Amino acid sequence: MAKGKYRFNADSLIYEKIEYSPKRILTIGFVYIISFFVLGFSFMLLWLNFFPSAQEKQLMQENAELRMQYKVLNTKLGTVQSVLEDIAHRDNNIYRVIFEADPIPNEVRTAGFGGVNRYADLESKPNMEIVVETANRLDKLYKMLYVQTLSFDSVINLARNKEDMLRSIPAIQPLADRDLTGFASGFGYRIHPIYKTYKMHTGIDLTAPLGTKIYATGDGTVSLARFERGYGKCVFIDHGYNFETVYAHMSMILVKPGQKVKRGEVIGLVGNTGVSTGPHLHYEVRKGKKTVNPINYFMNDLSPEEYDEMLRVSIRPSQTLD
Cβ-proximal residue to Zn ion, closest one: 282
CB of 203 to Zn ion, least distance (A): 5
Report, in Å, the least distance between residue 115 CB and Zn ion: 52
Q: At residue 123, what are phi and psi to the nearest 5 degrees?
A: -60, -30
- CB nearer to Zn ion: give 52 or 230: 230
C-alpha–C-alpha distance, residues 200 and 184, integer Å:
15
Pure H helices in the chain: 22-50, 54-90, 96-98, 106-109, 120-123, 129-160, 162-168, 304-314
Q: Where in 178-237 is the site for Zn ion (CB under 5 A)?
A: 205
| Stretch of residues binding Zn ion (CB under 5 A), selected from 17-25, 151-159, 259-267, 277-285 | 277-285
Residues 6+ apart with CB under 8 A from 107: none
Residue 274: CB minimum distance to Zn ion, A: 10
State the nearest-atom distance from the C-beta of 112 to Zn ion, in Å. 48
Binding mask 124-163 toward Zn ion (x if CB under 5 A, else -) reads: ----------------------------------------
Tell me, what DSSP letter sits at residue 170?
-
* 91 lies in the site for Zn ion, by CB under 5 A: no
284 binds Zn ion (CB under 5 A): no
**Of 254, 247, 251, 259, nearest to 223 (Cα)?**
259
Stretch that binds Zn ion, among 143-151, 153-161, 174-182, 278-286 (CB under 5 A): 278-286
CA separation for the pair 192, 16 (Å, rounded): 136
**DSSP 3-state percent helix, strand, coil across the chain (nearest 5):** 40, 25, 35
CB of 210 to Zn ion, least distance (A): 16
Q: Does 282 bind Zn ion (CB under 5 A)?
A: yes
DSSP, res 294: G
CB of 282 to Zn ion, least distance (A): 3
User: Which of helix, strand or coil describes residue 122?
Assistant: helix
Give residues in contact with Zn ion (CB under 5 A).
205, 282, 322
